[in-house]
């Protein structure tokens, strides 16, 4: 039969081992001061047990003498786990790059496809296969095309997972045409379509909305610095894609500076701006390294 001291020793050592196993989940790359203090206390416990307890069996002695080996093994396993995490993250980034390129390419293709189909249905160009005969349905199709282009542009930058951003993008691409109703002081679509006004409404002034975008981005940057807020960027994508698509008929309105000539090939400009914004977002604002990611995971 084991003595009471031996049983108490085994209990304390097993309890210490269990605490070390639990604290293993919280270890960082370097041992913390708190962990080193616990280690010194454990070593002092070992010395006190060796000097105060005379009758120790081989099992108790083995438990005492292997405590340092267990601690060193925990640190080694932790470093191995971190190395595997780093390798896994690097490999996953390598293998997911092809998927990201494919998704972005399909998104740009979808943007161009929706835009061309909308132009064919509404204006009969670049292909006059079929044009919507009803003027009201044609206006609805035109506005729906603006909203879908804004959705594809937003998803190209931020992905398809954030549904709320895509809904906001759709509304940002569609609401620009509300200034037509404001100009005629009526909610009648018939009155808007039969309006004889030649000047562009105020929400179709690109310089005016660009100024509002910079002001909104400034407020968003200083008030929501610790949060990921992209509403000003989504607002910019909504109205800019809307204006570029309308520019193929009347050009861009930059009052009080004037107006530009019609921009017939607006899709290459739109794609170039989106790719530039995507690269800027990836290489300038996304500065978190793989090491910091692994540390946050561990």
| Rounded mean pLDDT, 29-44 | 60
- The DSSP element (H or E) to which 156 belongs, if any, is helix 135-158
Is the pLDDT at 283 greater than 60? The verdict is: yes
Is the pLDDT at 31 greater than 70? The verdict is: no
Is the pLDDT at 95 greater than 50? The verdict is: no
Binning pLDDT at 50, 70 and 90, where does residue 38 land?
Answer: low
Residue 175: partners with Cβ closer than 8 Å, 6 or more residues away: 238
Overall pTM > 0.85: no
User: How far is the C-alpha of 292 from the C-alpha of 289, rounded, in Å?
Assistant: 5
Q: What is the pLDDT of residues 55-79, one digit of tens each?
A: 555 555 555 555 555 555 555 555 5
Is the pLDDT at 51 greater than 70? The verdict is: no
Tell me the chain's radius of gyration from C-alpha atoms. 33
User: How far is the C-alpha of 286 from the C-alpha of 170, rounded, in Å?
Assistant: 25
What 3-state class would DSSP assign to 168? helix
| Rounded mean pLDDT, 269-281 | 88
What is the dihedral sign for C-alpha 51, 56, 59, 60? Answer: negative
Q: Is residue 45 within 8 Å of 52, Cβ to Cβ?
A: no
* Summary count for the chain: helices (H), strands (E): 12, 2
Query: What are the φ and ψ backbone dihedral angles of 95, each rounded to 5 degrees?
Result: -75, -30
Q: What is the pLDDT of residues 190-222, one digit of tens each?
A: 888 887 677 788 899 999 999 999 999 888 888
When the pLDDT of each residue in the chain is averaged and rounded to a whole number, the result is: 75
Of 46 and 272, the one with more pLDDT: 272
């Amino acid at each position: 039969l084991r003595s009471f001291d031996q049983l108490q020793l085994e209990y304390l050592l097993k309890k210490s081992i269990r605490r070390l196993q639990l604290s293993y989940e919280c270890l960082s790359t370097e041992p913390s001061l708190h962990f080193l203090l616990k280690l010194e206390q454990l070593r002092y416990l070992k010395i006190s047990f060796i000097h105060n307890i005379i009758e120790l069996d081989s099992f108790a002695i083995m438990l005492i003498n292997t405590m340092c080996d267990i601690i060193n093994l925990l640190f080694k396993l932790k470093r191995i786990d971190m190395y595997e995490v780093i390798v896994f993250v690097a490999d996953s980034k390598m293998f997911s790059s092809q998927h990201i390129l494919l998704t972005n390419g399909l998104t740009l293709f979808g943007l161009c496809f929706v835009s061309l189909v909308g132009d064919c249905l509404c204006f009969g160009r670049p292909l006059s296969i079929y044009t919507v005969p009803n003027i009201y349905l044609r206006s609805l199709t035109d506005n729906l095309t603006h909203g879908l282009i804004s959705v594809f542009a937003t998803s190209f930058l931020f992905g398809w997972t954030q549904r709320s951003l895509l809904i906001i993008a759709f509304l940002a691409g569609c609401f620009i045409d509300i200034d037509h109703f404001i100009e005629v002081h009526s909610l009648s679509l018939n009155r808007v379509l039969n309006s004889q006004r030649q000047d562009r409404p105020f929400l179709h002034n690109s310089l005016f909305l660009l100024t509002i975008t910079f002001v909104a981005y400034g407020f968003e940057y200083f008030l929501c610095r610790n949060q990921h807020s992209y509403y000003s960027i989504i607002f910019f994508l909504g109205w800019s894609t809307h204006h570029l698509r309308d520019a193929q008929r009347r050009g861009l309105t930059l009052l009080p500076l004037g107006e530009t000539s019609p921009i017939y090939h607006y899709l290459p400009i739109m794609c170039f701006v989106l790719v530039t914004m995507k690269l800027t977002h990836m290489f300038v604002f996304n500065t978190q390294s793989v090491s910091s990611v692994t540390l946050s995971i561990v």
